[in-house]
Structure 1
Amino acid sequence: MTHRAATLRTHQESSAAWLFFKRWLANPLSMASITPSAPSLSRLMARQIRRDPDEVVVEFGGGTGAVTRAILDAGVPPSRLYSVERDPELATWLRRHFPQVNVLEGDVADICRMLPEEVRGKVGTVLVCLPMILIPAEQQRAIVDAIFDIMPPGRAFYAYTYSARSPIRRKALGLRGRRVGFTIANIPPASVWRFTRE
């Protein structure tokens, strides 16, 4: 990376951190953290991706693009990535900084309606970058059902959490879940969990 490119990325990261903090102030429960995911957590999430060449990846909670960038750096073509963001200001940021990524603005529980028909059922991996542990059980159920509606049978989705326990109510939702990674370099330290249907 050239000095100019490195300077530009540093400026973008600073601007992203400030925007993220402002949106956290506006709605703390929807963000769960005052800073975007650290590179260590973003890379840990991106390493979980499994997709066939004709499949896409879906990211829930694009924020300012920390995990989005890691997904692209892991080799997923931008045209094969769909990032869902409910906050209009953050969705605008994502479109400006990741113009080739498919940014969908809305509630993740509506993902089946938002995705183009030709990719429904062809989602290799869903990465959930939302504070699922703070979401009530019935809303968790709606989100989980929506995830499995867009993936082929037998696939997994991944979610990170700052808690020591699972971010999803596994038993109530009929899920198998296990921790697949941990990073202390994130603020706060975070774990990544893998979930499948029983």
Structure 2
Amino acid sequence: MQTRALPDLPKTTSNVYTSYIRQFLASPRTVGSVIPSSATLCRTMMNQIDWSETFTIAELGSASGVLTKKVLWRMHPDAQLDAYEINPQFIPQLQAINNKRLNVVAASAEQLIRPYDAIFSCLPLLSMPLRVVTRIMHQVQHNLSPQGTFIQFQYSPFSEKLLSRYFDWQRVMVLKNIPPALVYVCTLRK
């Protein structure tokens, strides 16, 4: 039986995967996966908000900008996206995205710079120190507008107890992602 070779990945895709693998191996506590989020996961996250009412947006843990680019495409022309990233290897990739609505914030999500209508988070909460996660959740809670939405994805349900301390939430399962993911749609408690 003859086996066929798999086609080579396009150079840009290959570079993205290589970058993720390197960054995960260097810092698994801050880079939660060896591969970027799937288009299905990004779409599921973005479908949780009303884009006509969303003008200030934050993305926590932007990495190389996979979700960032999709959010920029979807958001209102007058909206602003603050992309938070602490990994110095990912910052240049984010800065290379040519869009005047994007503000790359080379700082931790522990230091949100303003209120937001929507906050997307790709942070690996379960692998981060609890004190850091607690500070981030306080910042999100404090900087989310009263009608805003916080969208967090995780690979397991173990962060539900943590999220319940700060928000009301609903969960959406995304099977078309490696590994399958859970999207948490969080709102401030009334």
TM-score with structure 1 setting the length:
0.80
For residues 109-124 of structure 1, the aligned pairs below 5 Å read 109-112=110-113, 120-121=114-115, 123-124=116-117
1:63 counterpart = 2:69: no
The alpha-carbon distance between structure 1 residues 163 and 53, as it changes in their structure 2 partners (threshold 3 A), is closer
C-alpha contact 1:79 1:102 (8 A) present in aligned 2 = no
Between stretches 31-40 and 13-22, larger displacement belongs to 13-22
1:164 counterpart = 2:151: no
Question: 1:126-167 CA distances to partner (integer Å, 9 max, x unpaired)?
Answer: 001110122343322211111132222242201001113445
* Number of residue pairs matched by the alignment: 180
Q: Gaps (5+ residues) in structure 1?
A: 1-9, 113-119
SS at match of 1:28: coil
Question: 1:62-101 CA distances to partner (integer Å, 9 max, x unpaired)?
Answer: 1111111221232344961111110111011111134532
Between stretches 61-70 and 147-156, larger displacement belongs to 147-156
* Distance across 1 between alignment mates of 2:170 and 2:16: 31
For residues 8-157 of structure 1, the aligned pairs below 5 Å read 10-50=10-50, 55-77=55-77, 80-100=80-100, 101-112=102-113, 120-121=114-115, 123-157=116-150
C-alpha contact 1:133 1:167 (8 A) present in aligned 2 = no
**Following TM superposition, by how much is the alpha carbon of 1:48 offset from its aligned partner in structure 2, in angstroms?**
1.9
The alpha-carbon distance between structure 1 residues 168 and 34, as it changes in their structure 2 partners (threshold 3 A), is farther
Question: 1:5-52 CA distances to partner (integer Å, 9 max, x unpaired)?
Answer: xxxxx4323211211111111101211210011111111112223355
C-alpha contact 1:85 1:91 (8 A) present in aligned 2 = yes
**Which structure has the larger Rg?**
2
* Distance across 2 between alignment mates of 1:165 and 1:27: 21
* Distance across 2 between alignment mates of 1:20 and 1:167: 26
Q: Gaps (5+ residues) in structure 2?
A: 1-9
SS at match of 2:169: strand
The alpha-carbon distance between structure 1 residues 15 and 99, as it changes in their structure 2 partners (threshold 3 A), is farther
TM-score with structure 2 setting the length:
0.83
1:176 to 143, 150, 168: 168
**Following TM superposition, by how much is the alpha carbon of 1:196 offset from its aligned partner in structure 2, in angstroms?**
2.5
C-alpha contact 2:91 2:104 (8 A) present in aligned 1 = yes
